[in-house]
Structure 1
Amino acid sequence: MRTLVEVVARAGPGGRTVLPVVRASGQLAVRRTGPTTVHLVATAFGPLGGDDAEIRLVVEAGARLAVRTVAAAVVLPARGESPPSEQRVRAEVAGRLDLRPEPTVVTAGAHHRALLHALLDEDAELTATEQVQLGRTGEQPGRWTGTTRVERSGVPVLHTTVGLGPGAAAWLPPVAPRAYASTVHLGAAADRATAEDAVRLPLERGWVATAWGDRLTPTLARLAPLEGGAPLEEALP
């Protein structure tokens, strides 16, 4: 199934944010749930192997946008020889974007590809998170491949690809984490910091923090102290 989501945030009168474009088709619907917040709502089960989703976000200068999902995404294989499912997020940001979806659970036999490509203007701010669990309780892990590319004023700031699960080059037991969480923030600098199975690395006017483990809940707990510089949704009036 082909899914397309488009949201445009624009500065309105009195410093408000208006959303002149809010539309979706396929497996997702989009709902405005706050002054600067939209939630993506699944309208069909999945994604399934072979499904393709594209999310286009535009945040113009002076505007703010927080993007959330209402529930975790459970990735399932298609019948027979299952091709990967794919979700691409392309963000053009001149204002402030806070992208925090609920976790992605990749079931046994499934392969999901997640891509984020963010194009930032000189004064733009971005916070984007990724949370992944390979396999449900008592189930073999699926496979997940995530690519993040962030550019500011045409200059690459971060370009990384992480592959987890059976068949991924760096996923070799006993070094085979089933849970992964990452946050990238552009807008305020932070120093390097480490915790158990977690690290925060500085970027130009920003940072990226990553944690890994066997289960997602404790992995997120280890990541949280390293995310102190990230703005919360409540900071987006």
Structure 2
Amino acid sequence: MRATARITATAVGGATALPVLDGDGPFELRRSRSYGGQARVCVLGAMSAPLGGDRLRIEVTAEQGAHLHVTSAAATVALRGPTREHATYDVRLTVAEGARLHWLPKPLISAARSNLRQTCAVDLATTARLVLREEQVLGRAHEPPGRLTGRLTVRRDGRLLLDQRTEYGPGAASWDGPAVLGGHRAVGQLLVVDPALAGERSGVRLFGGDPGAGEAVLTPLTGPAILVTAVAPDLLALRRLLDAAHMIYNVKANGS
């Protein structure tokens, strides 16, 4: 199956309109109630996907001055499907001058014997703001994970801000060793790019005092931006770590 969904947000008189809301294949796009000047969209899964051989893509554009929040209704589950060919799931996010995008989908679950290649490419204008969260669960309950390869590329004002590649599951080198996941099965990250962080000199910060319960590290990036990477035994512990780091960003952004 090949499917592409498109979302475009436009600033109109202090609010944000959605002139393009085009779902396709497994993607059903639903408007949620707006919050202030922020438009909200929820991605619903109309069928099981991605399966082996699927080619899926989501394109999101926040035009100048727009404020867009995108989430999903449920976790995405990567399954083997009728073919052993890998599936692809590509996300393209574009945020213009003065625009804000919150990309906060539910977790991705890599089921046994699946093979998914996921990419996320982000293009930001100089005054754009982005909050991006990714959460991945390796294997459903009492099963091993499938193969999951991911790449996150972020450019700000045409310059590379972040280029990160990850590989987990069968065939990936040392993915479950102490230098990568250390036996954990939930991994995630939170990326914040915001001009309000300019001039911040805070260093690396650790979250979580018990390695067995999960740990996270907040790293400042040149941007201005921060990246939080977390590993945990389960999704609940992972979300707690990412939420704690997000709270730190909110304090900085609000000048408290």
TM-score, reference length from structure 2: 0.85
- 1:168-183 alignment, distance < 5 Å: 168-173=172-177, 175-183=182-190
- 1:30-179 alignment, distance < 5 Å: 30-35=29-34, 36-79=39-82, 82-94=84-96, 95-173=99-177, 175-179=182-186
Q: Unaligned 5+ residue runs, structure 1?
A: 232-237
Distance 1:129 1:157 in 2: 16
Alignment check: 8 A CA contact 2:176 2:184 kept:
no
Distance 2:154 2:48 in 1: 30
Deviation at 1:172, TM superposition (A): 4.0
Match in the other structure for 1:201:
219
More moved, 165-174 vs 92-101: 165-174
Cα root mean square deviation, aligned: 1.7
**Deviations 1:178-227 (Å, cap 9, x if unpaired)?**
21011111004363211232101101211010111332211222232222
Deviation at 1:173, TM superposition (A): 4.0
Question: How many residue pairs align between the two structures?
Answer: 230
Match in the other structure for 1:235:
none
Deviation at 1:176, TM superposition (A): 4.1
- 1:15-26 alignment, distance < 5 Å: 15-26=14-25
More moved, 103-112 vs 164-173: 164-173
Q: 2:43 is aligned with what amino acid?
A: L
SS at match of 2:242: helix
Distance 1:157 1:229 in 2: 21
Distance 1:126 1:60 in 2: 13
Alignment check: 8 A CA contact 2:9 2:61 kept:
yes
Q: 2:29 is aligned with what amino acid?
A: V
Deviation at 1:27, TM superposition (A): 1.0
Seq. identity, %? 32
**Deviations 1:117-153 (Å, cap 9, x if unpaired)?**
1111110001111111111111111222221111111
Among candidates 231, 240, 244, match of residue 212 of structure 1: 231
SS at match of 2:167: strand
Deviation at 1:230, TM superposition (A): 4.7
Among candidates 164, 186, 198, match of residue 193 of structure 2: 186
SS at match of 2:65: coil
Alignment check: 8 A CA contact 1:105 1:132 kept:
yes
Distance 2:48 2:176 in 1: 31
Alignment check: 8 A CA contact 2:50 2:89 kept:
no
Q: 1:91 is aligned with what amino acid?
A: L
Distance 2:206 2:235 in 1: 18
**Deviations 1:29-73 (Å, cap 9, x if unpaired)?**
111112210011111112111111111111111101101100011
Q: 1:30 is aligned with what amino acid?
A: L
